[in-house]
Structure formats: structure tokens, C-alpha cells
């Protein structure tokens, strides 16, 4: 059976491998604490579920417009105006089966064979694979300093005539960092100077802490015309399984991406689309309650991690991830645990905690914790983490 060269270049997902292994261990009766989860451990708010049930009863069960129902796209435009002070019209919006699907459609719409896409390290795993799937080339940008942010110097070093776009993800998976207005202004200047399209993934916008301000790079002067904003409901409304994301950008790019969508998925799920209209238009405090709970967990986890000898963890300002630096333990142990992947295996097998190695996100010397887990499990799990690290050096 022939397999394409494109697919041969793809790596299978490290997060799925870890999650599968920890589920197998749980099935054997082992109490594994799973810190590798990439979705909120909350339920979809009731008003959204009711809207979906109503949608079925009212027979919203057919194909919709490829770009999504007009009423939904209007609601999305309203969200952009309210949250980001961005003026879009429905022609600027594409509703897809998840933010992941939006990014794929946009990359396919803008990239040619061997074009380059700037990808800051550490990166969410699917960006890398999706760039490969479009036959473009990911061009990595090294982070600078302890907070993982990219500098304009490192961006500029990688710019050539082949570079088409840059991906910005703030709040970030896997680090939780959030770019400030000033930092985004610097990136914007470069995007304008080098005529780059910016793909700005803002899916964790609603999960943001310490009263940090979320800025959409599209809202900066002259940026709306060259930015595609990616957002969705998976993280904000605990709707990962409903599969709906949306992109907002220049009509020419959205129209082109819709050609791809029209011939691949046709449109996002019609029932979900109706439910998301309710999510965006109706007031409900469950999103804020979820955010507050994440903030409590983050505060606890970061304090505990930073109290472990020789562990340093940058304070995440958003999302539900933390990336402590574990390089001291990798360098000092005599048990052959040399990489972040070795460490994750060691901790899963011996201390029954599932973490994702930094190498999955393009960076060594770090592991990713997801705090989409109960406070009780976080307390137990972080103790196991500390014990495991101590044991490595014994
Ligand atoms: C940074 C980032 N973007 C996009 C997605 C995908 O979101 P969706 O469920 O809407 O496809 C994820 C999911 O983990 C993510 O972490």
C-alpha cells in the first residue's frame, strides 16, 4: 500500500501516546494522575446544551452555508467588537469544525510548496504537523529568556523571501505566556516590514489571570489587513467535543479557505452552530467561574513547583498549562534519564503522574503540566513529582 511522503514526515502525537499509556495503567487499577489533559475538566454550560437540544427539535439538522450560519457569523462579529474592538462583517468569518480545522484551512489557502512559516518554540504540536501537511516548511524561532517569549531579533534572523506567515499563540499552549501590547507591536512592525501574514491563535483568550489584558494583534494599527485571528469555543465554554472554531480575516483569505472547507468538511455541525449562538449571545457566569477555578489551581501549582529545589517555572498568565524547567535533574541524575521524554516515562512508570515532555513542543529541558485537573489531584500529583525528582538524584 503506498503511503504519501507527506504523511511519512508526520510524527504521531506525543500527548496522545502519553494519555493512552496512562489510561491503560488506570485500566489496570493504577491511580495515575493525568497532567497531560488538553481540555477543561468542566461541563458545557446548561444554556448551551439546552440550545443544542432545541436545535434538534427545530430541525437544524441540515448542511449550513459553508462559512457557517449567518446568525452565528453575526454573533461572532459581535464578539470581536465587544472583546477585541475589531470590526468584522460576516464575509470576514469562517466557522469550521474546531480551531484546528480553521488553521488547516487557512494554511492550505496561503501556503505554496516549500513556503516557510515562522513557528515560535515551544509550539502547540499541531501547528508543526499542519505546516508539514500543506507542504510548507516550519521555520523555528528560538525563545529568549525564561519566559519563552520570542524576540524581534530572532524573528528577523529567520526572515527570507520564502517566509509567508508567522504563527502567534497568546495565551500560549504549552507555556501559558501572554504577549503584552508592546511586545505585539514589535512583532507587528516586523510583519508589516516583511509583508507577512499573521495567524494569531487566541483560543485561550478567556482563560487569563492576574487581570492580564488579552490583546489581539489584529487590533493594532494596520494589522487587521494582514492577520487571521483564530478562536473557538472548545476552551472558553468547555466544548471540545462539539467541534467548532472560527477564523476572522481579510475576505480574500477567508474566501480561499472556504474553497478548501467546501470540498473537505462542507460546514461545521449545524446543531453545534445553533448552540454556539447561545454561547456567544447569552450571559452566563460559568465561564468566569471556570476561569477563577483555573486561577486558583495555577497559583497553587506554580507556588509548589517553584518551591522544589532547582525547579524554575515561569508564571503562566493564561491557558491551563505550566512548563517547569527540569534541566538540573536531567543533567545531574545518574539513572540515564537524559531527556524530557525519559523523565516523563520515569515519572509515569514509577510515580504515576502523566506529564508531556518539552520535546513534544520543540524544546528540551522542560515538561508540561496541565492543571485541567482537580485541586486534590494537583496536590497529590505535585508531591509525587517532587518525590520522583528527589529519587532521581539519590
Ligand atoms: C493552541 C491551540 N489552538 C487550537 C487548539 C484546537 O482547538 P479546537 O478544539 O477548537 O480544534 C488547541 C487545542 O488543544 C490549542 O491548544
Asked if 256 and 227 sit in the same domain, the reply is yes
**Which pTM was predicted?**
0.96
210 contact partners, CB below 8 Å, separation of at least 6: 295, 317
Distance CA 212, CA 318 (A): 8
Q: In sequence order, what DSSP letters do the residues of 206-234 get, joined into one string?
A: T-B-TTPPP--GGGSTTTGGGEEEEEEST
Q: What confidence score (pLDDT) does residue 278 get?
A: 97
% of the chain surpassing 90 pLDDT: 93
Q: What confidence score (pLDDT) does residue 144 get?
A: 86
Distance from the Cα of residue 260 to its chain's centroid:
22
* Residue 203, ligand 1, Cβ within 6 A: yes
171: preceding bond cis by omega (within 30 degrees): yes
Asked if 352 and 230 sit in the same domain, the reply is no
Asked if 300 and 221 sit in the same domain, the reply is no
Asked if 36 and 81 sit in the same domain, the reply is no
The CATH code of the domain that includes 95 is 3.40.640.10
Q: Give 139-164 pLDDT, tens digit per residue.
A: 999 998 778 999 999 999 999 999 99
How many structural domains are present in the chain?
A: 2
Q: Give 17-70 pLDDT, tens digit per residue.
A: 888 899 899 999 999 999 998 889 999 999 999 999 999 999 999 999 999 999
Asked if 181 and 85 sit in the same domain, the reply is yes
Mutate which of 203, 231, 241 for ligand 1? The one with the most ligand atoms within 8 Å of its CB, which is: 203
Which residue among 246, 281, 316 closes a domain? 281
Which residue among 254, 281, 308 closes a domain? 281
Asked if 153 and 59 sit in the same domain, the reply is yes
* Residue 169, ligand 1, Cβ within 6 A: yes
Local structure of residue 358 (DSSP, 8 states): G
Asked if 251 and 116 sit in the same domain, the reply is yes
% of the chain surpassing 70 pLDDT: 100
Asked if 165 and 150 sit in the same domain, the reply is yes
Q: Which range marks the domain in which residue 83 is found?
A: 48-281
Q: What confidence score (pLDDT) does residue 156 get?
A: 94
Q: How far is CA 341 from CA 15, 66, 378, in A?
A: 11, 41, 21
* Residue 276, ligand 1, Cβ within 6 A: no
Asked if 93 and 239 sit in the same domain, the reply is yes
Helix (H) or strand (E) holding 34: strand 33-34
Ligand 1 centroid–CA 150 distance in Å is: 21
70 contact partners, CB below 8 Å, separation of at least 6: 90
Distance CA 216, CA 204 (A): 12
Which residue among 262, 281, 300 closes a domain? 281
Mutate which of 98, 100, 107, 179 for ligand 1? The one with the most ligand atoms within 8 Å of its CB, which is: 100
Distance CA 362, CA 172 (A): 14
Mutate which of 123, 126, 207 for ligand 1? The one with the most ligand atoms within 8 Å of its CB, which is: 126
Asked if 241 and 331 sit in the same domain, the reply is no
Ligand 1 centroid–CA 258 distance in Å is: 19
Q: Give 244-287 pLDDT, tens digit per residue.
A: 999 999 999 999 999 999 999 999 999 999 999 999 999 889 99
Asked if 111 and 20 sit in the same domain, the reply is no
Asked if 14 and 89 sit in the same domain, the reply is no
The CATH code of the domain that includes 343 is 3.90.1150.10
CB 103 within 8 A of CB 97: no
Ligand 1 centroid–CA 130 distance in Å is: 12
From the list 208, 376, 385, the residue with the least C-alpha distance to 305 is 385
* Residue 247, ligand 1, Cβ within 6 A: no
Distance CA 384, CA 378 (A): 10
3-class DSSP state for residue 143? strand
Amino acid at each position: 500500500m503506498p503511503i504519501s511522503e507527506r504523511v511519512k514526515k508526520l510524527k504521531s502525537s506525543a500527548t496522545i501516546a502519553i494519555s493512552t499509556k496512562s489510561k491503560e495503567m488506570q485500566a489496570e487499577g493504577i491511580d495515575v494522575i493525568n497532567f497531560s489533559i488538553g481540555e477543561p475538566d468542566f461541563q458545557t454550560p446548561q444554556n448551551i446544551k439546552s440550545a443544542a437540544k432545541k436545535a434538534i427539535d427545530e430541525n437544524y439538522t441540515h448542511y449550513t452555508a459553508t462559512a457557517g450560519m449567518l446568525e452565528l457569523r453575526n454573533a461572532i462579529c459581535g464578539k470581536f467588537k465587544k472583546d477585541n474592538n475589531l470590526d468584522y462583517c460576516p464575509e470576514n468569518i469562517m466557522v469550521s469544525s474546531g480551531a484546528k480545522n480553521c488553521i488547516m484551512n487557512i494554511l492550505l489557502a496561503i501556503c505554496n510548496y516549500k513556503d516557510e512559516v515562522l513557528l515560535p518554540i515551544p509550539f502547540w504540536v499541531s501547528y508543526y504537523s499542519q505546516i508539514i501537511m500543506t507542504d510548507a516548511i516550519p521555520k523555528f524561532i528560538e525563545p529568549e529568556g525564561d519566559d519563552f517569549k520570542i524576540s524581534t531579533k530572532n524573528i528577523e534572523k529567520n526572515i527570507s523571501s520564502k517566509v509567508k506567515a508567522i504563527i502567534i499563540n497568546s495565551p500560549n499552549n504549552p507555556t501559558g505566556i501572554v504577549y503584552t501590547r508592546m511586545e505585539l507591536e514589535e512583532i507587528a512592525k516586523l510583519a508589516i516590514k516583511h509583508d507577512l501574514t499573521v495567524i494569531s491563535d487566541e483560543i485561550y483568550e478567556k482563560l487569563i489571570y492576574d487581570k492580564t489584558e488579552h490583546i489581539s494583534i489584529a487590533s493594532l494599527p494596520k494589522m487587521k489587513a494582514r492577520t487571521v485571528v483564530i478562536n473557538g469555543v472548545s476552551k472558553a465554554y468547555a466544548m471540545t467535543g462539539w467541534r467548532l472554531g472560527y477564523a476572522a480575516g481579510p475576505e480574500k483569505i477567508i474566501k480561499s479557505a472556504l474553497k478548501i472547507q467546501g470540498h473537505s468538511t462542507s460546514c461545521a455541525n449545524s446543531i453545534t452552530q445553533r448552540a454556539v449562538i447561545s454561547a456567544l449571545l447569552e450571559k452566563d457566569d460559568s465561564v468566569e467561574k471556570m476561569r477563577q477555578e483555573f486561577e486558583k489551581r495555577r497559583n497553587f501549582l506554580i507556588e509548589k513547583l517553584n518551591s522544589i529545589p532547582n525547579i524554575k517555572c515561569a508564571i503562566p498568565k493564561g491557558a491551563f498549562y505550566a512548563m517547569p524547567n527540569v534541566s538540573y535533574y536531567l543533567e545531574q541524575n545518574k539513572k540515564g534519564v537524559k531527556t524530557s521524554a525519559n523523565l516523563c516515562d520515569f515519572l509515569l512508570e514509577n510515580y504515576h503522574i502523566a506529564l508531556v515532555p518539552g520535546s513534544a513542543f520543540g524544546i528540551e529541558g522542560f515538561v508540561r503540566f496541565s492543571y485541567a485537573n482537580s485541586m486534590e489531584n494537583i496536590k497529590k500529583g505535585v508531591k509525587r513529582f517532587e518525590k520522583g525528582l528527589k529519587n532521581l538524584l539519590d
